[in-house]
Chain A
Amino acid sequence: MGFLLSLSDNTPPGSPKPSLPPTRSINASPKSALLVESDECLSNFLRRCLKDEGYAVRIASGSEEGLRLYRDFGPFNVVLINYCIPQRKGFGIDPLVPQTKGIELALAIRDTDSSQGIIIAALAFRRPSEVPRPPEAMHIPLLVDVGVAQLRGLLEKVEVDRAIKALTSADLLRLQRFAKLLVRGLGRAARGRDWEDLLEEALYRTLIGAGDTQNGRHWNRKVPFVQHLAGAMKSIASVWRRQLREKEPYLMSELAVYDAEGQEHSPIDSAPSSCVPADRRLIEKAEEEGVFALLRGDANASQVLQGIIDGLKKNDIKLTYGLDEKKYLAAMRRIRVKLLGRNRGGNDDGRG
């Protein structure tokens, strides 16, 4: 199968009618999709699915028309292309000869915009491994089952990937520092998990969130992605904290530990006592004193920290200690830097 056929911009005679100018609705819609599908029934079904997910949809019936629409109106939130589409729809196409221009179109669109989210609907195949693709197309998500849930999951992934690519350096560092601070606040509840674990967990929950409201964290597109992930991380951190408090029961088989020689060890041998050990209290006290020691000589920062510990809000802290906005913000900054930078080059990187 060849993947190098060119897709001409010139509309030959007999080709489908040129697309209409963009309508008000598609331009006003927050989400747009390009659907390239030659089968009318499938096209209607997929268009309805996309519309139900809130997409304004443009439709092309062949690879040529698809590329033209993309160049005229792209980028789209998502481009959904059937693997089995002709170069152009019309008379003279032998129905017995498979028309498989979908991959070529996907690669042509990727050449135009490498960040464009694309899904290939390979509905003529049973499994992704059966779909012939060149190596450069292997990472494009495949829809092999026409179920709505499969499509919804892929759309969620495309949107999330697009949001990840769009994050600025400031956004990324903001997320990192947010996660590090939350993990630092987890203490023992972190159970060895670090800021990366927290951020990953937030993303997993977002990806499964489209259909599972109990376990997932649905991303409402009206909320910026950074805010969404921050909210998800906060919620997960509170679940982790609760898990420690509730002391979830485990099966013995889940806790069994095997050494390098395959010898099983009883978890009871190393189970901690339910009493808080005296040294734990000392460690926590030392930790708290350590934080204040970091801020020794910084009166404003110590005052702000004390205000937070006392449960005061920002304005109350400012009023109580007579700080103006500038001094308050500068003190907050110094506390964050001291806390996150305290062990730089040492053993802490937001690890609990």
Chain B
Amino acid sequence: MMAEDKSSREEILERVTSHLADSVLTLPDESILAEAGETEADLYKDAEHVRLVLSEASQVLEDVSRRLSNMGHVMNPNYWHRDHRGFHTKCLNCGSSVSFKPATHEVQGGALNAPCPATNEYRIPKRANL
């Protein structure tokens, strides 16, 4: 029925699941709810769990940026480099690096070890009376 070589099997699996996944996108709302109801015990709870996954992911990067900002580091929030180990970026002032692992939400790097030494070098003093 199917080709015996490994790559063909993987391609076929990919083709089938991709075709099925695409079909989910075009389903009307009532159909997706009815279909999900056949496999999920609590639709509302399940749906809200998906929202939670998204909300938490949105907050994680913000928390990392805020943590670094509190140490005086300046990061470009849009320039995280991604490789197989996680996301990486560097402080625009001192160049120290930080990496973030999505699977564990673990944050590592030299930027977390010390406040940014370059923070105050070129800054104009801000309003001091606050």
Q: Is the CB of A100 within 8 A of B130?
A: yes
Chain A residues contacting B30 (CB-CB under 8 Å) are 170
CA distance A62 to B78 in the complex (A): 31
Set B32, B55, B129: member contacting A98, Cβ < 8 A: B129
Q: Is the CB of B78 within 8 A of A209?
A: yes
Indicate with 1 or 0, residue by residue over B74-98, a CB within 8 angstroms of chain A CB atoms: 1011111110110100000000000
**Does A106 count as interface, using CB distance less than 8 angstroms?**
no
Set B13, B84, B87: member contacting A248, Cβ < 8 A: B84
Taking the nearest CB of chain A, how far is it from the CB of B26, in angstroms?
10
Q: Is the CB of A178 within 8 A of B76?
A: no
Chain A residue at smallest Cβ distance from B25: A230
Q: Using A181-B17, A203-B58, A336-B23 as known contacts, say yes or no to A211 and B127 having CB atoms under 8 A apart.
A: no
Chain B residues contacting A168 (CB-CB under 8 Å) are 29
CA distance A211 to B81 in the complex (A): 11
CA distance A287 to B35 in the complex (A): 23
**Does A29 count as interface, using CB distance less than 8 angstroms?**
no
CA distance A225 to B10 in the complex (A): 29
Set A181, A208, A339: member contacting B79, Cβ < 8 A: A208
Q: Using A126-B72, A205-B82 as known contacts, say yes or no to A200 and B53 having CB atoms under 8 A apart.
A: yes
Chain A residues contacting B38 (CB-CB under 8 Å) are 337, 341
Q: Is the CB of B10 within 8 A of A234?
A: no
Chain A residues contacting B62 (CB-CB under 8 Å) are 141, 157
Chain A residues contacting B1 (CB-CB under 8 Å) are 306
**Does A324 count as interface, using CB distance less than 8 angstroms?**
no
Classify the interface of chain B: helix, strand, loop or mixed.
helix
Chain B residue at smallest Cβ distance from A210: B78
Taking the nearest CB of chain A, how far is it from the CB of B62, in angstroms?
6
CA distance A99 to B70 in the complex (A): 23
**Does A241 count as interface, using CB distance less than 8 angstroms?**
yes
Indicate with 1 or 0, residue by residue over B46-78, a CB within 8 angstroms of chain A CB atoms: 111011011101101110011001111010111
Number of interface residues, chain B, beta carbon within 8 A: 71
Q: Using A203-B54, A208-B87 as known contacts, say yes or no to A173 and B36 having CB atoms under 8 A apart.
A: yes
Q: Is the CB of B70 within 8 A of A128?
A: yes
CA distance A207 to B57 in the complex (A): 10
Please give 10 more A-B residue pairs, beta carbons under 8 A apart, in addition to A149-B79, A215-B82, A284-B9: A84-B130, A98-B127, A100-B130, A126-B72, A164-B58, A168-B29, A203-B54, A234-B21, A288-B9, A337-B35
Q: List 17 A-B contacts (CB under 8 A).
A: A84-B127, A98-B129, A128-B70, A149-B79, A156-B78, A173-B40, A176-B36, A177-B21, A177-B32, A182-B18, A203-B54, A207-B77, A216-B80, A306-B1, A308-B15, A308-B19, A337-B38
| A contact set with B: CB distance below 8 Å | 84, 96, 98, 100, 123-129, 141-142, 144-145, 147, 149-150, 152-154, 156-157, 160-161, 164-165, 167-170, 172-178, 181-182, 184-187, 189, 193, 196-197, 199-201, 203-205, 207-212, 215-216, 226-227, 230, 234, 241, 243, 248, 254, 276, 280-281, 284-285, 287-288, 291, 305-306, 308-309, 311, 332-333, 335-337, 339-341, 344
